[in-house]
Amino acid sequence: MQKLIFKRCGSLVAALLFCGLVKAQIQFEPDRTIKESRFGIIKNTVLTIDDDAKAIVMRPLKNPNLEKNAVKLFTLVATDYMTTKLFQDHIEPLDRFINPYLSFPAILDQTPFLKSATSGEDGYLYFGFTAMYAAGLITGNEKLQEAGILTTKAVIESYIVSHLILKSVIGRHRPRRPLGEYGGDSRESSYPFVDSPLDFFNWHVNILGSKAYGTGFPSYHATMYYAMASVTSRVFDNYWIPHAAVTLLWCYNIEGHNHWVSEVVAGIVIGEFIGKVVYENYHKQRSESTTTRKKRKFNTDVSVGQTFGVMGPSLTLSW
């Protein structure tokens, strides 16, 4: 009976994940009739930093489904013990089928920094969108440049929102592995990994690196991965390939993330929204700069007329 409840809860969480991801894919059609320059791509990305920040900060206030989403989040947190135990027992062990077929040796090992930055699943993602941008510069492909720059921006904003701000403010402790009896022996020796999903508000100032104390909610990796997928799926107009790729990479070291299920769901939702904001604000700015370039287009006119009383050819410039 207990296993049946766990399985039903797992199905519910999977359905919520699927619905949330599909709903987050809102179509936005940019005007690509006029190509953007290399410098223009960077300029438009930088000029929309404040727009991104405003949209992210105002999202809780302007969310049309705030009450419904609050109920969904409450339900996820309230059932976190059951769903996370199910996740630990039945989902996490599946990575043993993935790990033998995937490995992430260092792509570049000339220096310690390059070796650490281009190894592991994170390093491959970072190297991937850096290589996309470089390929775009070499070939003149605007979409590759756009994907590389906007993905970098989405990763930075995910880090600030998820890791530096939300983790510090919410201060939720991570689940113990394996979870013990809820409300039973606290087993202080493994603190701050806990059995209770209600251990919030362990306030602290977050650091640039990673630590265990109060850093559960939301999952930064889920935020970052799905922000990247959200951007690239919009740039290349392909939802499934980017999302399938980041899901596979996230599952590769699934035990290492060590989160309650609600934290993963929250990270995915936040990441999808950050990617959407980054992409749409960039293209709104791009559209405005394109309109400005159209208005400033030079026109020339050669005619015969008088200049200071002297008849002859004249050249007229207008912009």
Instruction: For the chain, 319 residues long, give each residue's pLDDT as a single digit of tens.
Output: 444 444 444 444 444 444 444 444 445 566 666 788 889 999 999 999 999 999 999 988 888 788 888 899 999 999 999 999 999 988 888 887 887 888 888 888 888 888 888 888 888 999 999 999 999 999 999 999 999 999 999 999 999 999 999 999 999 999 988 887 665 554 444 778 898 899 999 988 777 777 888 899 999 999 999 999 999 999 999 999 999 999 988 888 888 888 999 999 999 999 999 999 999 999 999 988 776 655 544 444 445 455 555 555 555 544 4
Residue 308 forms part of a structural domain: no
- Please report the pLDDT score of residue 165 as a whole number: 93
What pLDDT shows up at residue 295?
Answer: 52
Looking at residue 188, its pLDDT comes to: 44
Which tokens sit at 258? Answer: 């060590």
With residue 312 as reference, give the H or E element that holds it: strand 310-318
On whether residue 299 sits in a domain, the answer given is no
The residue range of the domain holding 171 is 2-291
Q: Which long-range contacts (CB under 8 A, 24 or more apart) does 251-255 make?
A: 251/94, 251/95, 251/98, 252/95, 252/98, 252/99, 252/102, 252/121, 253/95, 253/121, 254/91, 254/92, 254/94, 254/95, 255/92, 255/95, 255/177
In a domain, 189, yes or no: yes
Number of domains in the chain: 1
Q: What DSSP character marks residue 318?
A: E
Q: Considering only CA atoms, which of 180, 158, 154, 176 is closest in space to residue 167?
A: 158
Q: What is the pLDDT of residue 269?
A: 95
Q: What is the pLDDT of residue 53?
A: 94
pLDDT of residue 282: 95
What CA–CA distance (Å, rounded) separates 21 from 265?
10
Q: H-helix or E-strand containing 315?
A: strand 310-318
Per the CB < 8 A criterion, the answer to whether 239 and 275 are in contact is no
pLDDT at res. 219? 94
Segment 235-243 long-range contacts (CB within 8 Å, at least 24 positions apart): 235/143, 235/146, 235/147, 235/150, 235/279, 236/143, 236/147, 239/25, 243/21
Residue 194 placed within a domain? yes
Residue 227 confidence (pLDDT): 97
Following DSSP, what letter does each residue of 256-311 receive, concatenated? HH---HHHHHHHHHHHHHHHHHHHHHHHHHHHHHHHHHHHT--EEEEEEEEETTEE
| Locus of tokens 């438009």 | 44
What is residue 28's predicted lDDT score, i.e. its pLDDT?
57
> Look-up: residue for tokens 């107009």?
237
